[in-house]
Amino acid sequence: MSVNWVRRGRLFEPAQQAPWIGTHAALPVVDEGANPLRLYFTSRDAERRSRIGGAKLGRDPIAIGPVDQNPLLTPGALGAFDDAGVTSSCVVRHNSRIYLFYTGWSLGVTVPFYLQIGVAVSGDGVTFRRLSLAPLLDRNPVDPYLTASPWVLIEGSTWRMWYVSGTGWERIGGEVRHRYHIKYAESQDGVQWRRTGLVAVDYASRDEYAFGRPCVLHDAGRYKMWYSSRGKAYRIGYAESSDGLTWTRRDDEGGLTPSSRGWDSDMTAYPAVFRHDGKLHMLYNGNGYGLSGIGLAVEA
């Protein structure tokens, strides 16, 4: 199904609206079960360590309201998998609990960083606690390099996750560069996950080497995934599936390319798509991986 997007402009530009907001407002995600809607996103401090915070999200029209003065999740304990920062990814509600799935960052020596998936829970969407000091999806034989950027849907008794998985690191021009694509996992409780190595979305060419956080909806009888893929710079892509397992890329039919000028002229990244007032709405980042803020596009 083709989706034509109409840009509605930039909704939010980080400008120290709260003590935890430094540079960036990256990886927006909406808690559609909250009333009013809640937005979660990631900002960086002076040491470039990322924190996750929240804000109210107005419905008519879609607009970002007051920002929480305190972060919801801060970097983990010294030596933990997320001691260098935490970045937002997905919010799921189940049995009166809110699950915030996130990416934890730690610094490396032979490679610049390590990424692993974590989860924190809340009863009110404001106070979160980690379920564990250890990662939810650590490196293992299926994912030997890194795990990151999960998106979770609950269907009956099955929790379904699409996530970023590393396929290696390579030296290019004196620098070390990651490679990662999108894989799939399942769980019965949201904590213990079964990974088989199933690749949901793979590289389209050798020049493509990274994918940003996927966003998956089960809409109009089809699974629809938005993500950002990277060669020279991130572009928002799109794929469809009948079962959530086998995907067909249709980037030209539902993606979003950069504008000719302005805050999203260099890249479009980290889409979060939700249905509102009968139409699909997309929150996304532009230039600088969220440095230039959060924008909105609406289905035509």
The string of DSSP codes covering 225-243 is EEEEEESSSEEEEEEEESS
Distance CA 293, CA 278 (A): 26
Rounded distance between C-alpha atoms, residue 296 and residue 259, angstroms: 13
The pLDDT-based confidence of 191 (bands split at 50, 70, 90) is very high
Residue 173: the pLDDT is 87
**47, 80, 285, 33 alpha-carbon torsion, rounded to 10°:** -130
Q: What is the pLDDT of residues 201-242, one digit of tens each?
A: 999 999 999 999 999 999 989 999 999 999 989 999 999 999
Residues facing 159 on adjacent strands: 154, 187
Q: How confident is the model at residue 258 (pLDDT cuts 50, 70, 90)?
A: very high
Query: Quick check: helix, strand or coil at residue 171?
Result: strand
Residue 252 has pLDDT above 80, yes or no: yes
- Going by pLDDT thresholds of 50, 70 and 90, the confidence category of residue 50 is very high
At 46 the pLDDT is: 84
The span from the CA of 105 to the CA of 295, in Å, is: 25
At 47, the pLDDT band (50, 70, 90 cuts) reads: confident
What are φ and ψ of residue 68, in 5° steps?
-60, 140
Residue 20 has pLDDT above 80, yes or no: yes
Q: Report yes or no: 248 and 239 within 8 Å, Cβ to Cβ.
A: yes
pLDDT at 80 over 80: yes
**What three-state secondary structure class fits 98?**
strand
Please give the average per-residue pLDDT across 265-291, as a whole number. Answer: 96
Query: Above 80 in pLDDT, residue 1?
Result: no
Token look-up 């019965």 returns: 188
What is the number of other CB atoms lying within 10 angstroms of the CB of residue 256?
23
At 117-157, the pLDDT tens digits run 999 999 998 899 999 999 999 999 999 999 999 999 999 99
| Structural tokens at position 45 | 């401090």
Percent of the chain clearing pLDDT 90 (strictly above): 90
Domain CATH number, residue 229: 2.115.10.20
Q: Across 108-251, where does the E strand assignment appear?
A: 113-122, 128-130, 147-155, 158-172, 175-187, 193-201, 210-211, 215-219, 222-230, 234-241, 248-249
Element (H, E) at 93: strand 85-94
pLDDT band at 62 (very low <50, low <70, confident <90, very high): confident
Residue 31, pLDDT score:
96
- Residue 60 pLDDT class (50, 70, 90 cuts): confident
Higher pLDDT, 277 or 152: 152
Domain that holds residue 118: 5-299
Gyration radius from the chain CA atoms: 18
Structural domain total, the chain: 1
Alpha helices per DSSP H over the chain: 251-254
Token digits for 204?
């389209």
pLDDT of 59 strictly over 90? no
Nearest to 220 by CA among 203, 199, 242, 201: 242
pLDDT above 90: residue 88: yes
- What pLDDT shows up at residue 58? 87
Q: Is the pLDDT of residue 176 over 80?
A: yes
Mean pLDDT of 61-65: 87
Mean pLDDT of the chain: 96
Q: What is the pTM of this model?
A: 0.96
Burial class of 299 by CB neighbour count within 10 A (0 to 12, 13 to 18, 19+) = middle
pLDDT of residue 2: 80
Instruction: For residues 150 and 163, give the distance between their C-alpha atoms in angstroms, rounded to a whole number.
Output: 4
φ, ψ of residue 287 in degrees (nearest 5): -60, 145
Quick one: pLDDT band at residue 41, thresholds 50, 70, 90? very high
